[in-house]
């Protein structure tokens, strides 16, 4: 059993853009590369669940995510997720006993030089280690309890409710 499981679902954190005129694709997860560059000393298990924009996630996808969290032997879980429906997935994960689940994402793809992705992933790892069991969202230097946060598109950040 790893110290932390990372479940990847897609979202901006893993987006690829080929040129200014092309549409994005969600590529292979960058989690392994980021943890290697950061020299993360924890034992981390990465499991790719899907490669979707969060606007495309369905109730069935959220059930898949929940099932993966429930069956994971780890009690600390970080989920990479698109920011548009992150709060919906957080709500779908409510009530899972004995697990600290942290959803993180990025407002700019991890492959961009000026991305918030590595910082948010680090925040997710830290939150998973110190927060009490429950569902959390860690974005841009702030940790929010699920159910008490929303994405403010105008401000380009998550805010407490």
Give CA–CA dist 139/123, Å, rounded.
Answer: 7
Give CA–CA dist 108/53, Å, rounded.
Answer: 13
Pairing of strands 157-160, 100-104: unpaired
Kindly report the backbone phi and psi dihedral angles of residue 110, in degrees, each rounded to the nearest multiple of 5, phi listed first.
-60, -25
Catalytic residue annotation: 12
Give 106's Cβ-side CA count (13 Å radius).
Answer: 28
Please give the full DSSP string across 18-47, using - where no structure is assigned. -STTSPPEE-S-SHHHHHHHTT--S-EEEE
């Amino acid at each position: 059993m790893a110290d932390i499981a990372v479940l990847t679902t897609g979202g901006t954190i893993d987006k690829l853009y080929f040129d200014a005129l092309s549409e994005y694709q969600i590529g292979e997860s960058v989690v392994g590369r980021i943890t290697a560059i950061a020299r993360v000393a924890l034992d981390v298990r990465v499991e790719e669940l899907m490669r979707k924009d969060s606007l495309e996630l369905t109730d069935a996808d959220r059930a898949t995510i929940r099932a993966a969290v429930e069956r994971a032997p780890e009690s600390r879980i970080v989920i990479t997720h698109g920011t548009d429906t992150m709060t919906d997935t957080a709500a779908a994960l409510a009530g899972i006993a004995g697990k600290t689940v942290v959803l993180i994402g990025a407002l700019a793809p991890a492959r961009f030089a000026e991305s918030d992705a590595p910082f948010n992933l680090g925040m997710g790892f830290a939150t998973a280690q110190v927060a009490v069991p429950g569902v959390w969202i860690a974005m841009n230097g702030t940790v929010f309890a699920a159910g008490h946060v929303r994405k403010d598109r105008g401000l380009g950040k998550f805010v407490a409710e």
